[in-house]
Amino acid sequence: MSNSDSISRVALKKITPDVSGAMGSLHAAAVSAARDAKVEPEILELIRIRASQINGCAFCLDMHTKDARAQDETEQRIYALSAWRETPFFTARERAALALTEAVTLVHEGQVPDEVYSAAAEVFDEEQVAALIWAATVINAYNRIAIATRMAPGAYQPAKK
């Protein structure tokens, strides 16, 4: 059954507004922690896009690629993100953040290996590593919400600068 043929799904914000609000507060706290830790906003968008690619979340991919472009991210880097290991387009910090994001997203495959965590800890301080873990955790939760409720991509527009 394709998404266009699927049944109507629950509107989580409407049915469970308190939980939805708590999720929004968690997201805001994670963004604030990253800002306070001085994690580059570009890295946060790369995290959101990469986790959404892995999870197959069309809604979040639409949203975060638009947000990345609004922050002047290049098309080349967005297109190459799923193959970041094979490109010269990403910095050491971005590579460490992407590896950590993949490990958190695919936690069932390797339990966030020590070498991945250590690589992140080499280029980020503890506060930044914590912020990266929260960013990856939040986007993974949002991916699951968007996929489970079949949120439709396309309408989202980033805030104007």
Tokens representing residue 24 in the block: 């929004």
- Domain membership of residue 111 (yes or no) is yes
Q: Give the count of beta carbons closer than 10 Å to the beta carbon of residue 150.
A: 15
- Domain membership of residue 84 (yes or no) is yes
Residue 1: the pLDDT is: 45
Residue 8: the pLDDT is: 86
Residue 4: the pLDDT is: 54
CATH number at residue 60: 1.20.1290.10
Residue 159: the pLDDT is: 85
* pLDDT of the chain, 161 residues: tens digit per residue: 455 567 889 999 999 999 999 999 999 999 999 999 999 999 999 999 999 999 999 999 999 999 999 999 999 999 999 999 999 999 999 999 999 999 999 999 989 999 999 999 999 999 999 999 999 999 999 999 999 999 989 888 998 76
Range of the domain at 95: 40-148
Residue 161: the pLDDT is: 66
Tokens representing residue 7 in the block: 């049944």
- Domain membership of residue 65 (yes or no) is yes
Residue 91: the pLDDT is: 97
Considering only CA atoms, which of 86, 88, 89, 85 is closest in space to residue 75? 89
